[in-house]
Chain A
Amino acid sequence: MTTTYGGWAGYILRVNLTTKVITKETTETYHDYIGGMGIGYKVLWDDHVDGIKATDAENQLVISAGPLSGSGAICSARTTITSRNPVIRNHLITDGHFGGHFSPELKFAGYDAIIIEGKSETPVWLKIVDDTVTLEPADSLWGVGIFDTFASISKLMGQQAQIAAIGPSGEHLVAQSTIQTQGGHSAGGHGAVLGSKKLKAIGIIGTGTVDIAESTTNEQLRELDDHILGIIGANNNGVVPNQPQSWAEYSSTGSRWRGGPGVTWGAADNPVDVGETPWDDRQKVGMRTSMAEMYFGRDEANKIFKRPGGCHSCPIRCFCEVKNPKMKTEYNLPTENITNVCLGFLDPWYAMGKPSSGEKRTDIQTVGAYYMDDNGIWSAYGQLSHLMREFTARGFWEIILPAEEYAAINWAQYADLDAHFMQDFYTRIAYSEDYPGSNILGRCLGRGLHEFINEDGELYNVEDILNEVESPRMAELTFELESDANYDLVGKTYSVFLDKNMKVFNRSMVGGVHHASESAGQVGALLNTVFNRDPQCHSHINLINCGLPHAKIAEVAASLWGEGAFDPVQHYTAMNTSKAKFAKWCLVKNVLHDSLTLCNWMFPLVVSPDANRDYIGDSSIEAQMFSLVTGIETSEAELDAMAESVLQLHRALTVLQMNEIDQRNKHDVLSEWVYDLDHDKNFGDEGTIKMDRDDIQIGLDMFYAEMGWDKDTGVPTRATLEKFKLGYVADKLESLALLPA
């Protein structure tokens, strides 16, 4: 049966690694859940098993595309990976995402998703060439780094294959591991799931097409493409340039529209001087973002930046393809090129204590990025590096590690900001127990912080935890730094919930902060409570970091969610319903994008660089894309409702997996430092991002009301679930006494 709609490929592959049986099922079952993340959550709901670990054979992992992937719609090449996650307390479900060219290829091969279940006895890889799907032996690939894995499989399949793989860290069941695809794109937290299933890689060649609805004409597609190009900004939808340009009314140093005079793709064979990048020059859209200077500083970036890169169909190009010849000459790597973005470059730098720009930083970031990616290590949005850096600064490793191991680590290199340190550092994490010696450092860093702390965020004796001692001792670490004195912490037991530099935001999930209160006050704080990992949400960031003056942003926010939806950053007012509506909107759009699968680092586009439009964007573009591609005329409100259904299902599945009705007190809880930082300031003062305990509780009340969740528990009510065609979810929760009365 083929679908009569455009967009969806029509089929889902189910690969059972235990039985080696591969079956095909129709995607139509999942149309109400859009695609991508929606498919992932529905599959895991349907096949839920109580109390299993992420690395158990019963756990499923879903790799999914949405109806827009491969259609050519702008920024539509994300891939969503959904599974229980070993980095999360109770191994709750999370969704990770990567870009690149993987999901379009999956669609060209004729599939919307791959469901992976069971566990193979021996290493295998999955080979997909259109209709021919086979499991191939991967014994010779086991233990091989990600880059060589890509090369080996491409050699076997043909170089047009798009491949996703795990590195040694996934094989060693390191919780902080990735699934990666070519060009440095990685999804966090699920490498160990594939590792436990002994699935090394998936290679796809698709020679088919993604069909667009017959009712849609070529002209309509080009028109919409052109409309989007008229209102899209730079990465994170920065719509004003970072520095003044002759055509621009505004500029803002916060904007990721970095391409402009003085920016050079200096490592290109013939260096490219980017020059002015006027908003309406369609052939310079791909030069706007040129973001290397954000990660390396302008001087270094102008030397090492070769070009920007990124995903299929995206004109924005947030990736930085850099060339650092020293990677080869001084660090003995087989390449002098590396591509990455954001934490891919920042994690090594954070881990080394954030040295200022210069060659040492460049070396740390490029060499570190190489080792992270080749080993397939996940930073958990910086949690890995924050832990390394803070524990080093506090002298904790000397206490935690056995003397022999401590002595074997080259701390002089670390202190010298010598990038040679990166090799041993990331190898310790990736090889875990197979690294020679005790390797408490690597095993601890790779395992996920939640494993090592008690309810109050205080550290257990790490060795006891790793040795699975039944009643582990406490580590007995105390706050001793001078900076701790400001907070009256000196001498007190160290807790990661009190340490603002550790950036644990959602304390129950022990998730890292990611555009929370530091970006959008209570709005960011609230949406950081809902997901089980950092929320990977940029819906709000694409508005508030757009670079327009605050008054303009506040005006847009007020028009969408009511007065007072957006305060100036670091000068917050008390909670109000407009903020609750804003937070909900952010999550709905986030889920929408992860389901379509569209880039949430660019969309939604509520503002634009076009002064003639008064800088207003168009939040209905997703619905326009969806309507044209599928042929199902769908309004923005209708599409948002479908996304909200997936969001409700996400919450319900968390309730089910935790077997816990009290989400309010057991899930949606923030760390102490969020309320206690800046001891000389009160919530609401200018210059602080500090939140207020009572105000956040009011925030939860208002947010739950917007979501249709029970006030006391934060669980969706039956009425809400039924409204979103999730009556079967309500029935199941009710049968387990997990539905609010």
Chain B
Amino acid sequence: MITRRALLANGAKVAVGTVYGGTLVGFLTGCGSSDDAETPIVEVIPGGLMVVNPILCVGCRRCEIACSWSHGKSAVSPSTSRIKVAKNLNFGPHGVQPNYQDQRGEQGDSTIVPSTCRQCDVCMTVCPQKAITVNEETGARVVNDDLCVGCGYCADKCPQQVITIDKTTRKSLKCDLCEGSPNCAQVCPTGAIKFYTWEDAVAEVELHEKYLELV
């Protein structure tokens, strides 16, 4: 069992195909992280996740746009984008606080903290239709439109709040890692959003987590 602390201290890497404790996976994916030894052991599959470095993010929302452009019909909207910049843009991840000037966001300390899908298992687990499964090649949890009925359980339960139900098609919209070549990363003008393999994600996720907290 590797705890998050041990992993960071030893600079240990996570190898694809290895079985690891839930602590690390919980940390990386942002769901159910705890030092509880009862946490089930999870196998790390190939692929990884998109993470934004809030220090480099300049709030242009080009990632959001490219996401809209590259999925389905080209209707641009923060609602149909699988990466969420707009919702944290002005006042940070916690919305308007009495000390908003000290919080994140354009009206705060000007740090933009976009939310990305961490490819955890939550949406997959809660979906009553079994419409979300793992793409074994990319590791992305992907929605099967034929099975999805738009009930919204996945959106409700997503710890990153990055799933939306498309208003017109009534299908769940979630990050599918663009079949292994994420468009958001290609258009980011500062390299703020990148695809990280599980091995490389630790430091980036830790930095991102820091910016998700209340200041």
Interface string of A193-234 (1 = CB under 8 A from B): 000000000000011111110101110011001000000000
User: By the criterion CB–CB under 8 Å, are A283 and B191 in contact?
Assistant: yes
Say how far B50's CB is from chain A's closest CB, in angstroms: 14
**Residue A60 at the B interface, CB < 8 A?**
no
User: By the criterion CB–CB under 8 Å, are B56 and A160 in contact?
Assistant: no
Known interface pairs A208-B167, A270-B55; A222-B69 also in contact (CB < 8 Å): yes
CA distance A151 to B70 in the complex (A): 34
CA distance A211 to B77 in the complex (A): 9
User: By the criterion CB–CB under 8 Å, are A209 and B80 in contact?
Assistant: yes
- Chain B residues with CB under 8 Å of A212's CB are 69, 73-76
- Which listed residue, A154, A335, A339, touches B96 by the CB 8 Å rule? A154
**Residue A307 at the B interface, CB < 8 A?**
yes
**Residue B86 at the A interface, CB < 8 A?**
yes
- Chain A residues with CB under 8 Å of B68's CB are 72, 209
Interface string of B64-88 (1 = CB under 8 A from A): 0110111001111111100000110
**Residue A617 at the B interface, CB < 8 A?**
no
**Residue A183 at the B interface, CB < 8 A?**
yes
Say how far A202's CB is from chain B's closest CB, in angstroms: 15
**Residue B109 at the A interface, CB < 8 A?**
yes
- Chain A residues with CB under 8 Å of B149's CB are none
Nearest A residue to B75, CB-CB: A209
Known interface pairs A208-B167, A307-B58, A312-B61; A72-B76 also in contact (CB < 8 Å): yes
- Which listed residue, B58, B61, B79, B190, touches A207 by the CB 8 Å rule? B79
Secondary structure dominating the interface of B: loop
User: By the criterion CB–CB under 8 Å, are B90 and A218 in contact?
Assistant: no
User: By the criterion CB–CB under 8 Å, are A221 and B74 in contact?
Assistant: yes
Say how far A330's CB is from chain B's closest CB, in angstroms: 16
| Residues 309-343 of A contacting B (Cβ, < 8 Å) | 309-317, 321, 323, 334-335, 337, 339
Say how far B20's CB is from chain A's closest CB, in angstroms: 28
**Residue A147 at the B interface, CB < 8 A?**
yes
CA distance A101 to B88 in the complex (A): 13
CA distance A113 to B109 in the complex (A): 32
- Chain A residues with CB under 8 Å of B152's CB are none
**Residue B30 at the A interface, CB < 8 A?**
no
| Residues 131-151 of A contacting B (Cβ, < 8 Å) | 147, 150-151
**Residue B115 at the A interface, CB < 8 A?**
no
- Which listed residue, A218, A285, A321, A334, touches B189 by the CB 8 Å rule? A285
Nearest A residue to B86, CB-CB: A160
CA distance A315 to B24 in the complex (A): 35
Nearest A residue to B190, CB-CB: A286
**Residue A159 at the B interface, CB < 8 A?**
yes
Nearest A residue to B55, CB-CB: A268
Nearest B residue to A338, CB-CB: B110
**Residue B95 at the A interface, CB < 8 A?**
yes
**Residue B59 at the A interface, CB < 8 A?**
yes
**Residue A566 at the B interface, CB < 8 A?**
no
Q: Which of B100-108, B126-134, B137-145 contacts A (4 or more CB under 8 A)?
A: B100-108
- Chain A residues with CB under 8 Å of B76's CB are 70-72, 209-210, 212
User: By the criterion CB–CB under 8 Å, are B60 and A159 in contact?
Assistant: no
Say how far A4's CB is from chain B's closest CB, in angstroms: 14
User: By the criterion CB–CB under 8 Å, are A309 and B90 in contact?
Assistant: no
Say how far A116's CB is from chain B's closest CB, in angstroms: 23
**Residue B188 at the A interface, CB < 8 A?**
yes
Say how far B182's CB is from chain A's closest CB, in angstroms: 13
Known interface pairs A160-B78, A160-B89, A337-B110; A309-B59 also in contact (CB < 8 Å): yes
User: By the criterion CB–CB under 8 Å, are A108 and B91 in contact?
Assistant: no
CA distance A108 to B81 in the complex (A): 13
Interface string of B33-76 (1 = CB under 8 A from A): 00000000000000000000001111111100110111001111
- Chain B residues with CB under 8 Å of A312's CB are 60-61
**Residue B183 at the A interface, CB < 8 A?**
yes
User: By the criterion CB–CB under 8 Å, are A283 and B190 in contact?
Assistant: yes
CA distance A160 to B66 in the complex (A): 19
**Residue B148 at the A interface, CB < 8 A?**
no
CA distance A312 to B100 in the complex (A): 22
User: By the criterion CB–CB under 8 Å, are A151 and B110 in contact?
Assistant: no
Nearest B residue to A271, CB-CB: B55
User: By the criterion CB–CB under 8 Å, are B77 and A207 in contact?
Assistant: yes
**Residue B187 at the A interface, CB < 8 A?**
yes
| Residues 497-537 of A contacting B (Cβ, < 8 Å) | none
User: By the criterion CB–CB under 8 Å, are A160 and B87 in contact?
Assistant: yes
- Chain A residues with CB under 8 Å of B74's CB are 211-212, 216-218, 221
User: By the criterion CB–CB under 8 Å, are B70 and A159 in contact?
Assistant: no
- Chain A residues with CB under 8 Å of B108's CB are 337
**Residue A182 at the B interface, CB < 8 A?**
yes
User: By the criterion CB–CB under 8 Å, are B79 and A209 in contact?
Assistant: yes
Known interface pairs A208-B167, A337-B108; A313-B60 also in contact (CB < 8 Å): yes
User: By the criterion CB–CB under 8 Å, are A283 and B96 in contact?
Assistant: no
Q: Report how many residues on chain B are interfacial, defined by Cβ distance under 8 Å.
A: 46
Say how far A18's CB is from chain B's closest CB, in angstroms: 32
Known interface pairs A150-B90, A208-B77, A284-B190; A317-B58 also in contact (CB < 8 Å): yes
Taking residues whose C-beta sits less than 8 angstroms from the other chain, chain A's interface range is 35 or more
User: By the criterion CB–CB under 8 Å, are A339 and B78 in contact?
Assistant: no
| Residues 235-270 of A contacting B (Cβ, < 8 Å) | 268-270
CA distance A313 to B66 in the complex (A): 10
Say how far A535's CB is from chain B's closest CB, in angstroms: 27
CA distance A620 to B57 in the complex (A): 30
Known interface pairs A154-B90, A208-B167; A147-B107 also in contact (CB < 8 Å): yes
User: By the criterion CB–CB under 8 Å, are B70 and A108 in contact?
Assistant: no
CA distance A323 to B182 in the complex (A): 33
User: By the criterion CB–CB under 8 Å, are A309 and B110 in contact?
Assistant: yes
Say how far B164's CB is from chain A's closest CB, in angstroms: 9
- Chain A residues with CB under 8 Å of B96's CB are 151, 154-155, 159
User: By the criterion CB–CB under 8 Å, are A211 and B90 in contact?
Assistant: no
Nearest B residue to A306, CB-CB: B110
CA distance A216 to B70 in the complex (A): 12
CA distance A314 to B65 in the complex (A): 11
CA distance A208 to B65 in the complex (A): 14
Known interface pairs A108-B77, A207-B167, A212-B76; A307-B110 also in contact (CB < 8 Å): yes
User: By the criterion CB–CB under 8 Å, are A309 and B106 in contact?
Assistant: yes
User: By the criterion CB–CB under 8 Å, are A313 and B61 in contact?
Assistant: yes
- Which listed residue, A151, A313, A337, touches B91 by the CB 8 Å rule? A151
CA distance A212 to B66 in the complex (A): 13
Say how far B100's CB is from chain A's closest CB, in angstroms: 5
- Chain A residues with CB under 8 Å of B86's CB are 101, 160
- Chain B residues with CB under 8 Å of A314's CB are 60
User: By the criterion CB–CB under 8 Å, are A218 and B70 in contact?
Assistant: yes
**Residue A308 at the B interface, CB < 8 A?**
yes
**Residue A360 at the B interface, CB < 8 A?**
no
- Chain B residues with CB under 8 Å of A221's CB are 69, 74
**Residue A272 at the B interface, CB < 8 A?**
yes
**Residue A282 at the B interface, CB < 8 A?**
yes
- Chain B residues with CB under 8 Å of A286's CB are 58, 60, 188-190
CA distance A101 to B108 in the complex (A): 16
User: By the criterion CB–CB under 8 Å, are A313 and B78 in contact?
Assistant: no
- Chain A residues with CB under 8 Å of B59's CB are 309-310
User: By the criterion CB–CB under 8 Å, are A310 and B60 in contact?
Assistant: yes
- Which listed residue, B61, B78, B100, touches A151 by the CB 8 Å rule? B100
User: By the criterion CB–CB under 8 Å, are B189 and A211 in contact?
Assistant: no
- Which listed residue, B61, B69, B101, touches A335 by the CB 8 Å rule? B101
- Chain B residues with CB under 8 Å of A206's CB are 77
- Chain A residues with CB under 8 Å of B105's CB are 159
Interchain Cβ contacts under 8 Å between A and B, 9 examples: A72-B68, A108-B77, A160-B89, A182-B106, A207-B167, A284-B189, A286-B188, A309-B110, A321-B110
Question: Residues on B close to A: CB < 8 A?
Answer: 55-62, 65-66, 68-70, 73-80, 86-87, 89-91, 95-96, 100-102, 105-111, 167, 183, 186-191
A-B residue pairs, 5 tightest by C-beta: A286-B189, A72-B65, A209-B75, A315-B189, A283-B191
Given contacts A160-B86, A311-B60, 16 further A-B contacts (CB under 8 A): A151-B107, A159-B90, A159-B95, A159-B105, A160-B90, A209-B68, A210-B77, A212-B73, A225-B66, A283-B190, A287-B190, A310-B60, A315-B189, A317-B60, A317-B189, A321-B110
